[in-house]
Amino acid sequence: MLQSLASNSCVRLIQTHKSTWYFVSLVVGYLLYLIFGAVVFSSVELPYEDLLRQDLRTIKKQFLQENDCLSEERLEQFLRKALEASNYGVSILNNASANWNWDFTSALFFASTVLSTTGYGHTAPLSDGGKAFCIIYSMIGIPFTLLFLTAVVQRIMVFSTRRPITYIHTHWGLSKPLVAIVHATVLAMLAVSCFFLIPAAIFSALEENWNFLESFYFCFISLSTIGLGDYVPGEAANQKFRELYKVGITVYLILGLIVMLVVLETFCELQQLKQLRKMFYLKKEKPVDRLAILEHDQLSFTTVSNSSTTQSQDKSQMFVSVPTLASPNDDPMIQ
């Protein structure tokens, strides 16, 4: 008996706080997914990092043996300075000295990566004035970019998603949720083809050291605004039409980001995903003023109904209170 009562109370507790339990499971699942990613990345990349460290130690040792006049301290000092310059996008190599990081097209590309929060990190401001301006420029530009993207996506969604789904639903008589799922799938396939597969093939042809996988990796990292910066196009030595190439990449990033947001918004409007999101949201509580109005209306309605019921009962009693005659002799008028 006690066990059944305990089980019933537990079930009742879970049902009353269903949204909270869903949210807790979501948080636990996200943390497990983070741990899973860390384990996989560590197991895959750690051996390559160790191998690269060993190769660098071997090359450094061989270089010092071949150059007895150079001490290890001087060499490390020189390498440290070169690496610091490389972190700011300045290379000491002769074949990279012709590429400037702060000409107009490169600065335009940098501004687009800042405003879109991609931030490759291959180029960074060198001066204090540039760093201060970058902070102010980002504080104003990032909300401005969000407003711009929201307005553009809202207008595109009308013609790319809402009107086609409504037209097919009304003229062909198909189920609206089914039409929305098929439309979202087709739109996602078109976006992947036009902004991932085709650009990856183009980048693999234009960039000498990139294969198709690396080019596709760059497209995904860029349009998802991750921006690791390990692959940046247009940075190779003797790049043909480098200025025009940088402008084209900037336009590609802006258009690709808009298309990705359109696809995500299309999927977010699916009825199934809306129901899935509601599982983890808190239920909206009614405002106190609204509850008071509802209670007042309910009390007024109850009072009116009670008074009407009382009046109807009084009226019925006026007719029901007439005495019934057992026989005609009982009538006083007859007597």
Domain that holds residue 138: 100-280
User: For 130-186, how does the pLDDT look when each residue is reduced to its tens digit (9 = 90+)?
Assistant: 899 999 999 999 999 999 999 999 999 999 999 999 999 888 988 888 999 999 999
The count of structural domains within the chain is 2
User: Given 260, 280, 300, which residue is the final one in a domain?
Assistant: 280
Same domain as 270, residue 129:
yes
Mean pLDDT in the chain?
A: 81
User: For 50-97, how does the pLDDT look when each residue is reduced to its tens digit (9 = 90+)?
Assistant: 998 999 889 888 888 888 888 888 888 888 888 887 777 677 765 555
Tokens representing 279 are 């599982």
Mean pLDDT of 108-118: 90
Q: Could you give the CA distance from residue 72 to residue 189 in angstroms, rounded to a whole number?
A: 55
Q: Could you give the CA distance from residue 196 to residue 188 in angstroms, rounded to a whole number?
A: 11
Same domain as 128, residue 52:
no
Cα atoms in the Cβ-side hemisphere of radius 13 Å centred on 15: 6
pLDDT category of residue 251 using cuts at 50, 70 and 90: very high
Residue 131 covered by a domain: yes
Same domain as 257, residue 123:
yes
Most trustworthy range by pLDDT among 1-10, 34-43, 66-75: 34-43
Query: Considering the chain, what percentage of its residues have pLDDT values greater than 90?
Result: 38
pLDDT at 335 over 60: no
Query: What CATH number does the domain containing 120 carry?
Result: 1.10.287.70
Selection from 20, 43, 85, 3 nearest residue 280 by Cα: 20
Same domain as 248, residue 131:
yes
